[in-house]
Structure 1
Amino acid sequence: MKSKNILIIGVLTVVALAVIYTMTGTESPEVYLEKIEKERDRQYKFIKFNIDSPLTEEQKKDFKELDFYTIDPSYKVRAKMVELEEKKMVELPMTDGSVEKYLKHSFAEFDLNGKPQKLLLLQSMKEADKRNFFLAFADETSGEETYGGGRYINLRQDGKNSITIDFNLAYNPYCAYNPDFACPLPPKENIMQIPIPVGEKDYKKE
């Protein structure tokens, strides 16, 4: 009886994954997981070996891995883009007390775990491709399991009025590794009142 129940649960899990991937327009579960793991490996190699890494040479010697949550495809969502009629500049406070200017472009509206969400999409003044956006957000894991200054996701518009947000790709700003770097903090519109238990966790010094 137990083995039968396990089989049923397994089938239901596969069905649930299939529904998620159909709704989000994602590849097969295997391809999706492989893509996320490949991106995580790329991040690790950049932080560990790249000359532009935020780690000092001393930190690199002890650096062994990045810490991530388990990949959860339900945190990949399709959002409706609601473009702002009047696009204004916003000065995001930086971790060193300075400010950096971004263009307030649009809101991304979507449901996550049955709750409606609305996040502000920004564009850097240096961004040449107007389909690329910057999302800085904080959530209920910030300051606990994830970096207190929030996390980032790089986004690219993939529909006329829609954009895909994959929180599994959320990564830490440079200042999470090295306080000598200045990083923009999330705007007040992007302080989420729910936990986002996917993506990169806080960097812990060895």
Structure 2
Amino acid sequence: MNKKNLFWAFVALVIAASILYTFTGTEDPEFYRTTIEAERERQFKFLKYNLDSPLKAEQKEDMDSLDFYPVDPAYKVRARLEPVADRRILEIPMTDGSLERYIRHSFAVFELHGQTIKLLLLQAEDEADRRNFFLAFADKTSGDETYGGGRYLNLRQDGQSSLNIDFNLAYNPYCAYNPDYACPIPPRENILEIPIRAGEKNYDK
């Protein structure tokens, strides 16, 4: 399996976890925290033990945990979907200088910390389920507390024109662990001027 396929295999795992998470809800704060922490543990075990992990052998040996912000329910928001005026193919720059094609699908609009935020949702050209979206974003923590190339979320539409966004599930791209991998760079629409102190922090090599 090549590195691009490995990346998308990991994305598929994250999507599966996100679907399960969506249906569990957040009514019970303790159950919510436990659910997020279980997903983080699954992510750690994949990176440390899976043959498809982007980590090199010495990295696996040295890794004993991943670094995350504390689980904060305030970073789970409900967003409405706003169609883009020009739903077209967008070539997203990759960290190795190549380009990868995505569909500009819609904007997710939501409130966070008293601000209205609008982020561009992308969809892979070959995505079979049109309810699945890819969100790559960067924020004021990028390059300091979090990976400089931004972080990712895999989202699933669960309403007629709405979906949940939970930044507690934000994860690092493969290139944060291994520069031999090429990863999509967040589009300019998704460069936030506020810090998102939720989800995965920078990988400590």
Which TM class, normalised by the smaller chain length?
A: 0.7 to 0.9
TM-score by length of 1: 0.86
Alignment-derived partner of residue 76 in structure 1:
76
2:190 matched residue in structure 1: 190
Q: Distance in 1 between matches of 2:118 and 2:85?
A: 16
Where do 1:108-187 residues align within 5 Å? 108-187=108-187
C-alpha distance in structure 2 between counterparts of 1:112 and 1:148, whole Å: 22
Structure 1 residue 124, shift from structure 2 partner: 0.7
Deviation for aligned residue 1:84: 2.0
How far apart are the structure 2 equivalents of 1:86 and 1:69? 36
Cα distance in 1, alignment partners of residues 30 and 67 from structure 2:
21
- Give the distance between the partners of 1:162 and 1:85, measured in 2 at CA: 18
1:163 is aligned with what amino acid? L
Unaligned runs of 5+ in 1: 1-24
**Aligned twin of 2:47:** 47
Q: What is the Cα deviation at residue 172 of structure 1?
A: 0.0
Letter in 1 for 2:111: D
Output the amino acid matched with 1:115.
Answer: Q
1:55-83 Cα offsets, whole Å, 9 max, x none, are 01121111111000011000000001001
| 1:75-129 per-position Cα deviation (integer Å, ceiling 9, x unaligned) | 0000010012431110110000001000000000011000110000000112111
Which SS does the other structure have where 2:102 is aligned?
strand
Cα root mean square deviation, aligned: 0.8
Residues 87-102 of structure 1 mapped to structure 2, 5 A cutoff? 87-102=87-102
Which letter maps to 1:140?
K
1:34 aligned partner? 34
The normalised TM-score by structure 2 is 0.87
SS in 1 for 2:59: helix
SS where residue 66 of structure 1 aligns?
coil
Distance apart, 1:26 and its partner CA: 2.5
CA distance in 2, matches of 1:195, 1:123: 25
The structure with more radius of gyration = 1
Q: Secondary structure at the match of 1:183?
A: coil
Deviation at 1:27, TM superposition (A): 2.8
Identical-residue share of aligned pairs (%): 66
Q: Deviations over 1:24-61 (max 9, x none)?
A: x6231011111101000000000000011010112111
1: CA distance, partners of 2:84 / 2:187: 16
Show structure 2 runs of 5+ residues with no match. Answer: 1-24
1:145-193 alpha-carbon deviations (Å, 9 max, x no partner): 0000000000000100101000000000000000000000000000001
